[in-house]
Structure 1
Amino acid sequence: MPICHACRENVEVDDKFCPHCGATLSTNSQSSNRGITIPTGGCMGPVVWALLGFGYGLIPGYFIQLMLAYPSAEIFSGIATVLDSSMGAIGFMFISAIVGVIVFPIAIAVRNDNNSRFVLSVFIHTITTYILIVLMTLNATPVNQHLQYPTHTPVAKGIEHLRQGEKYLDQEDYIKAIESFAAYINLNPSDARVYMKRGEAHRLLEQYQEAIHDYDKSLDLDHSSIWPYHYKGMAYEELEQYELAIQSWERYIEVRLLESANWKNSEQAANAYCNIGFSYIELGQNQKAIDNFNKALVIDPNYSCAFRGKEQATETTPATATPTPLVESSTSEIAQRINQHLEAARDIWDILRKDSFMSGSERTTKGLEAISHIDQAIQLDPLLHEAYQDKALIYKEIGMCEDSVLASSMAINLNPTGIDGYIDRMECYRTLGENALGLEQKSLFQLALNDGLEIVNNFSLKGQTFAKDVEELRELVEKNN
C-alpha cells in the first residue's frame, strides 16, 4: 500500500490528498505497478498546523486564557497586575499565539486522526499557556517589567474612590465618605484636598480631633490652602478650645487678605470676625469681642450676627466698660430721618412698578437708588425688619436674587412671623436654581422647598395659595436626586 512521505501514514492509491495531514499526493510514472505515492509538498503538513495553531491561539485560545485569568487574579497577584495594565491583555494574546504555533504541529507526530490531533492540541495549548502566564507573572510581575506595559497611575485608580467619597459626603453618609477618602489616600497620600474633605466628614461626625489632624495634614501638603484654617477654628470651638479657635480664624483672615486685599470687605470677612468675637465672649474678654463685632459691622452695617454678638457682649461687660452707641441722636429725630428715607425708596419703587416700558438697565439704576435710601434707614435702625423686607423685594424685582436672599434672611431673622420674607426668598432660591447645575441646583431647589413648606405649614390662610409652588419645588428636588 502507498504511503505519504510527509507523515509516513498509509494512503489509498486513488487519493490525491493525504487524509491524515493534508499533503498533496501524486503518482510517479516511473514507479512500480503498486502505485507508490510521493508528496509534492511534504512540508505542508506542519506548516498548515502551525498556521492553524497561530489562529487558534490568537482568538479562541486567547479568550479561554482570559476566562481562566480573571478568577485566578485573586490567587496570583501578578495576573491581577497585568490585567490592570493597559496592554496586559495583548501580552496574553501574544503568549497564546506563540504557544499555538509550537503545540499544534507536534500533534502530527502523536495522533493519526485529524480530530484527535485538534482536541489534543487544544488541551495542550490551554494547559501550557496558562502555566506560562502564571510563571511569568509571579512575584515581580515580569510581564510588566520585560514587556513594559504601561499601567494605570494610582491617581487614575483612585478617582472612583474620590468620587464615591464626595457622593457619600453630599448624601451625609459620613462614615462611608471617610472610608472612600481613606481608600483614595492610600493610593494618593500627597493629595491635600482629600484630607480636607475627609476632615469635613470627621467634623460633621463630631470627631473633632480627627478632623483637626486631617486639616493640619492638608495644610502641610499645601501651604497655600485657606479653608482648613477656617474649619479648624470651628472644630476647636466645638472642643471649647477657644484660644486655638481664635488663632485659626486670625490665620484664616491673614491668608485671605494676602490672597486679595478686597476680601476685607466681604461677608466672609464679617463672618470670621463674628466667630472670633463669640470665642472672646466665651473667654470672658468682652471688650475684644466687641472690637471684633465692630469690625464686622464696618464691613456690613446690617450684619445681624454682629448685632446679636455685640448686644450679648455688652450685656455681660462690667459697668466700667463703655459700649459703643449705635446711634448718637434723639429718638424722634431718628424716626423722622428713617421715614424720609423709606418714603423716598417707596416713591422710586412705585415708579418701577408702574413704568413697564423702562429698560433693564434703567430699572436696575432706579432700584439701586431706592436701596441706597433703605440702607441709610437701616444705618439709623439696624433692627428695622420692614426695611430689609423692602430691600429684598426690590432686589428680586431688578433680578439681583443673591442680594435679595441675604436681605430676606435678615428680615426673617428679625421678624420670623412675617410671611413676605419667606416668599421672596423662596422665589429667589428657585430662580437661582433654574440657572445652576448639578449639586448646586439641587441644593438651591431644596432651600426653596424648605421656605415653601414653612409658608404652607405656618401661614395657614395666605400660605395655602403657595401649595402648588411647593409641589412643583418638590418635583424639582426629586428630579435632581
Structure 2
Amino acid sequence: MKKDNPSKSTVKSAKDYIKKGDKYLDQEDYSNAISNFDEAICLYPDNARAYYNRGLAKSRLGQYFEAISDYDEAIRLDPGYAKAYNNRGFVKYKLGHPKAAIPDFDEAIRLDSKDIKVYRNRSVAKSEIGQYFEAISDLDVVIRLDPNDDAAYHDKGANKADLGHYEAAILDFNEAIRLNPDNIEAYLNRGLSKRKLGRDAEAAQDFQEALRLAEEAGDEELIAIIRKQM
C-alpha cells in the first residue's frame, strides 16, 4: 500500500524541528538536539537529514551503535549521502573496527572526491591496520587539496616513521613545523626519528621545544609523554 505524502505543513514543522536541533548541536546540547530530531522524524520519517543529524548528536554522546542505525537509515533514504557514509565509517573506527570503516570512507570519496576530511579519516584507519603506504597516498591527496595542512604533513611523516623511513619522515615533520611552528607532535616525532638515526643531540633539542610548547598549552598528557623521552 502506497504511503500518503506528508502535508506541506507537516514537512514545514519537521524542518522547524530540524533547525531547532541544529541550534542545539551548535551549542553542544546533544540531548535536546536528539529530542528535536526525534520530533522531526516522527512527523516526517522519510527525511534523511533528520536521521543524519540525530546520528551525529548520538555519536557525540558516545552512543555509537545507535548512531550507526541512524546513519544506516539516512543512507537507505538517500544513497548518495556522502557525509553519512563518512560519519558511519568514523563511528565504526571509534568502535575499534578500522577495517570495517574503510569501505564507508571509500564510498564517501566516490560520492564526493573533494572532501578532505574523508581522506584524512581513511588514512587514519589504514594506518591503524598497517597499510602505511596507502595511508600516505590518502595524505598526499589531502596535501594536494590543501598544501598548508600541517597536520597532514605530520601524519605523513608518522606513517613513514612507522615504515622505518626516518630520513623521509623528518622532511615531512620539517614541513609540518614550517607551516605551524606550534605543532607539538611534529617536534616530538621528529625528535624520535632523529634518535633512531643516532642524532641524539638534535633529538634532545626537539624534545625540549616540544616540552616548552606543551607546557605553554597546558597539555599534561603530552607533557608526560615528552618527559619520558628526555
Shorter chain as denominator, the TM-score bin is 0.5 to 0.7
One-letter amino acid of the counterpart of residue 308, structure 1 = A
Using the alignment, how far apart are the partners of 1:180 and 1:236 within structure 2? 25
The residue aligned with 1:145 is none
1:411 paired residue among 181, 184, 187? 181
Correspondences of 1:183-332 after superposition (within 5 Å): 183-257=39-113, 263=114, 267-268=116-117, 270-280=119-129, 286=130, 288-297=131-140, 299-300=142-143, 303=152, 304-311=154-161, 313-314=162-163, 326=168
- How far is 1:250 from its partner? 1.8
Sort the Cα spacing of 1:294 and 1:385 in 2 relative to 1 into closer, same or farther, 3 A: closer
More helix by share: 2
Task: Give per-residue Cα distances to partners, 1:216-264, cap 9 Å, x unaligned.
Answer: 101111111100111111111111122211221122222223xxxxx3x
User: Contact 1:237 / 1:279 at 8 angstroms: preserved in 2?
Assistant: no
Moved more, 290-299 or 195-204: 290-299
Sort the Cα spacing of 1:271 and 1:290 in 2 relative to 1 into closer, same or farther, 3 A: same
Using the alignment, how far apart are the partners of 1:381 and 1:267 within structure 2? 22
Give the secondary-structure state (helix, strand or coil) at the position aligned to 2:163: helix
The residue aligned with 2:210 is none
- How far is 1:186 from its partner? 0.6
Structure 1 spans left out of the alignment, 5+ residues:
1-150, 258-262, 281-285, 316-322, 328-379, 389-406, 418-454, 460-481
Sort the Cα spacing of 1:386 and 1:160 in 2 relative to 1 into closer, same or farther, 3 A: closer
User: Percent sequence identity over matched residues?
Assistant: 24
User: Contact 2:47 / 2:77 at 8 angstroms: preserved in 1?
Assistant: yes
- How far is 1:205 from its partner? 0.6
RMSD over aligned Cα atoms? 3.2
Sort the Cα spacing of 1:276 and 1:387 in 2 relative to 1 into closer, same or farther, 3 A: closer
Sort the Cα spacing of 1:191 and 1:246 in 2 relative to 1 into closer, same or farther, 3 A: same
Give the secondary-structure state (helix, strand or coil) at the position aligned to 2:80: coil
Using the alignment, how far apart are the partners of 1:252 and 1:212 within structure 2? 15
Using the alignment, how far apart are the partners of 2:16 and 2:33 within structure 1? 12
Task: Give per-residue Cα distances to partners, 1:353-375, cap 9 Å, x unaligned.
Answer: xxxxxxxxxxxxxxxxxxxxxxx
The residue aligned with 1:383 is 173
Runs of 4+ in 1 over 4 A off after TM superposition: 414-417
Per the normalisation by structure 1, the TM-score is 0.33
Correspondences of 1:369-380 after superposition (within 5 Å): none
Sort the Cα spacing of 1:223 and 1:245 in 2 relative to 1 into closer, same or farther, 3 A: same
- How far is 1:176 from its partner? 1.2
Using the alignment, how far apart are the partners of 2:64 and 2:102 within structure 1? 16
- How far is 1:269 from its partner? 5.5
- How far is 1:411 from its partner? 2.7
- Does 1:160 find its partner at 2:16? yes
User: Contact 2:160 / 2:166 at 8 angstroms: preserved in 1?
Assistant: no
One-letter amino acid of the counterpart of residue 27, structure 2 = Q
Task: Give per-residue Cα distances to partners, 1:423-447, cap 9 Å, x unaligned.
Answer: xxxxxxxxxxxxxxxxxxxxxxxxx
Per the normalisation by structure 2, the TM-score is 0.65
User: Contact 1:383 / 1:414 at 8 angstroms: preserved in 2?
Assistant: no
Structure 2 spans left out of the alignment, 5+ residues:
1-6, 188-212, 218-230
